[in-house]
Amino acid sequence: MKKIGVLVGSLRKAAWSKKLANYLVGLLPEGYEAEFIEIGNLPHYNQEYDEGEAPESYVKYRGKMHEMDAFIIVTPEYNRSMPAVLKNALDVGSRPYGKSAWDGKKAMILSNSPGALGGFGANHHLRQAFTFLNVLVMAQPEAYISRVSELFDDNGELKSEGTGKFLQSLIDAFVAFVEE
């Protein structure tokens, strides 16, 4: 059983990123178990926590991260970059030095935006941070979902057949990547 950690870069209750992540998880094949990992409860990273007693939320988060075989990251773009809550989750998971929960893991990034660029800036800033953290990011297909606010009906169901097919191809590529 492959354990896939899912991190959503938006804390909004009805976040489009959360809807996309839920859809993706539903496409995972048998033998894959996805778990959404809470990142909104992590205090801002402070190295002093690692020199003394780390907050309980850090301990639980890091432990959960170490259990995962790979990650799916779904995020909106804030000001042409990743949301602060997601950057904080990267930082908390990468410490204390030498004990990074990210090291050597594989990940897929899906960025989204109600605008036309589909979260391009967030996607590439995540890729840049993951390079330093030694996370192997799936290179292709790149995934930028534009006009995300138009993709779901009032019940939260995906209403674009073309996007559904793309997301299936994305999951298929991710599974092949994880199995390499």
> What is the Cα–Cα distance from 112 to 17, expressed in whole angstroms?
7
Average pLDDT score over residue span 2-10: 98
pLDDT of residue 30: 98
Predicted TM-score (pTM) of this structure: 0.96
pLDDT, position 11: 97
CA distances from 7 to 22, 51, 130, 133 (A): 11, 26, 14, 16
Number of domains in the chain: 1
* Domain at 80, CATH number: 3.40.50.360
Mean pLDDT computed over every residue of the chain: 96
Percentage of the chain with pLDDT > 90?
95
> For residue 52, what pLDDT band results from cuts at 50, 70 and 90?
confident
Question: What is the extent of the structural domain holding 131?
Answer: 2-179
75-98: average pLDDT: 96
Average pLDDT of the segment spanning 76-95: 97
Residue 40 clears pLDDT 90, i.e. is over it: yes
Mean pLDDT calculated for residue range 44-69: 95
In sequence order, which residues have a C-beta less than 8 Å from that of residue 30 and are 6 or more positions away?
none
Please tell me the predicted confidence (pLDDT) of residue 47: 92
Q: What is the per-residue pLDDT for 28? A: 98
